[in-house]
């Protein structure tokens, strides 16, 4: 299927679809597609009559220009990967199509965007909110699918939808991992074989954290996990936080009510990776 490059063409195609009855599912991606993305596409295809996928490396969510330039892009490969799926629209605009003028909107997500990724990557979630609200406005999906791999992003998108009162249902989908536990990510493509082997230690540390949950005080567990990962000379932990899954505020005691999640960001040489583990599952 050929990608649609303009908003006008996307809207025309969608108008055509809407003449038939049935829900529209949507998966937003930045391309460099892998099984993690495909799990969202599969879910959308199963849940809905129509599915739209976007491929757009959104400049406004990158707080580092170098990271934006280096981000892997290969539209040809992505189209090939999507070709077996019954997708009704692949929307792959250029940046100027999405932002003919600079997007100056600012969002406030309360405490949700002040911690973890929000703290380490200033402006990142504002950019995410800009592009997702814009994509929702263009595609107008009934349902949209996001990975729990980016747990904080998923929480913020739910809040965005709540704040703007958008008529879209957000579904979170489980993290897809390699056989050794490593979470799939487009950024894994940048890892050398040696770094890739080291990076498997991130998910191993998270699985250990799950085993130790409730058995060690929160701060001791954090220390243990951070030093386990940092013991590897190629890896440096940016943060490992244990937070409440609803409000992303730090958990002080395992006895506190509600779901808890451990989120980690690790610099593996120049490649920054994130992962998380749900302590309730």
Q: From CA 52, how far away is CA 88, in angstroms rounded?
A: 6
* Residue 97 β-bridge partners: none
173 interacts with ligand AMP by CB under 6 A: yes
DSSP of 80-105? HHHTTS--SEEE---HHHH-SS----
Q: Indicate the residue among 186 and 222 with the shorter CB distance to ligand AMP.
A: 186
Q: Indicate the residue among 24 and 218 with the shorter CB distance to ligand AMP.
A: 24
Site residues for ligand AMP, window 243-272 (CB under 6 A)? none
Residue 232 known to be catalytic = no
Q: Of residues 34, 37, 124, 244, which has the active-site annotation? A: 37
Q: From CA 134, how far away is CA 128, in angstroms rounded?
A: 10
**Part of the chain binding ligand AMP (CB under 6 A), chosen from 37-45, 70-78, 196-204, 258-266:** 37-45
Q: From CA 18, how far away is CA 140, in angstroms rounded?
A: 11
Number of C-alpha atoms within 13 angstroms, CB side, residue 104?
Answer: 1
Residue 31: what are its φ and ψ, rounded to 5°? 75, -160
**Part of the chain binding ligand AMP (CB under 6 A), chosen from 33-41, 73-81, 235-243, 262-270:** 33-41
37 interacts with ligand AMP by CB under 6 A: yes
**Part of the chain binding ligand AMP (CB under 6 A), chosen from 43-51, 141-149, 219-227, 244-252:** 141-149
Q: Indicate the residue among 123 and 224 with the shorter CB distance to ligand AMP.
A: 123
One residue of 4, 30, 52, 205 binding ligand AMP per CB under 6 A = 30
40 interacts with ligand AMP by CB under 6 A: yes
One residue of 150, 159, 241, 245 binding ligand AMP per CB under 6 A = 150
Q: Indicate the residue among 149 and 260 with the shorter CB distance to ligand AMP.
A: 149
Longest dimension (CA), the chain: 59
One residue of 10, 38, 135, 184 binding ligand AMP per CB under 6 A = 184
- Is residue 112 within 8 A of residue 124, CB to CB? The reply is no
Q: Indicate the residue among 175 and 218 with the shorter CB distance to ligand AMP.
A: 175
CA angle 35, 279, 125 (to 5 degrees): 60
- Where does 20-96 show beta strands of DSSP type E? 24-29, 50-55, 89-91
Q: From CA 24, how far away is CA 44, in angstroms rounded?
A: 8
- Is residue 170 within 8 A of residue 154, CB to CB? The reply is yes
Q: From CA 74, how far away is CA 4, in angstroms rounded?
A: 16
One residue of 3, 4, 14, 29 binding ligand AMP per CB under 6 A = 29
176 interacts with ligand AMP by CB under 6 A: yes
93 interacts with ligand AMP by CB under 6 A: no
Q: From CA 182, how far away is CA 136, in angstroms rounded?
A: 31
149 interacts with ligand AMP by CB under 6 A: yes
Catalytic center residues: 37
Which residues would be at the binding site for ligand AMP (CB under 6 A)? 29-30, 36-37, 39-40, 146-147, 149-150, 173, 175-176, 183-186
């Amino acid at each position: 299927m050929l990608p649609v490059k303009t908003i006008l063409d996307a809207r025309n195609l969608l108008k055509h679809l809407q003449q038939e009855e049935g829900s529209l599912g949507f998966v937003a991606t930045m391309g460099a597609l892998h099984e993690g993305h495909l799990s969202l596409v599969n879910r959308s295809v199963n849940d809905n009559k129509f599915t739209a996928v976007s491929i757009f490396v959104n400049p406004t969510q990158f707080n580092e220009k170098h990271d934006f330039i280096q981000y892997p892009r290969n539209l040809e490969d992505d189209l090939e990967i999507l070709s077996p799926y019954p997708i009704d629209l692949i929307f792959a605009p250029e940046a100027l199509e999405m932002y003919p003028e600079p997007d100056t909107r600012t969002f406030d997500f309360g405490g949700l965007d002040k911690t973890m990724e929000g703290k380490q990557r200033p402006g990142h979630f504002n950019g995410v909110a800009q592009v997702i609200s814009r994509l929702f406005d263009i595609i107008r999906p009934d349902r949209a699918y996001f990975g729990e791999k980016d747990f904080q992003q998923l929480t913020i998108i739910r809040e965005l939808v709540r704040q703007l009162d958008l008529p879209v249902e957000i579904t979170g989908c489980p993290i897809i991992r390699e056989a050794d536990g490593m979470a799939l990510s487009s950024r894994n493509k940048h890892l050398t074989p040696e770094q890739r082997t080291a990076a498997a230690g991130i998910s191993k540390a998270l699985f250990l954290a799950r085993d130790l949950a409730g058995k060690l005080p929160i701060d001791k567990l954090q220390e243990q996990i951070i030093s386990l990962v940092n013991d590897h000379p190629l890896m440096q932990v940016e943060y490992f936080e244990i937070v409440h899954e609803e409000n992303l505020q730090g958990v002080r005691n395992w006895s506190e009510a509600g779901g808890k999640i451990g989120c980690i960001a690790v610099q593996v040489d120049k490649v920054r990776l994130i992962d998380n583990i749900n302590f309730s599952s």
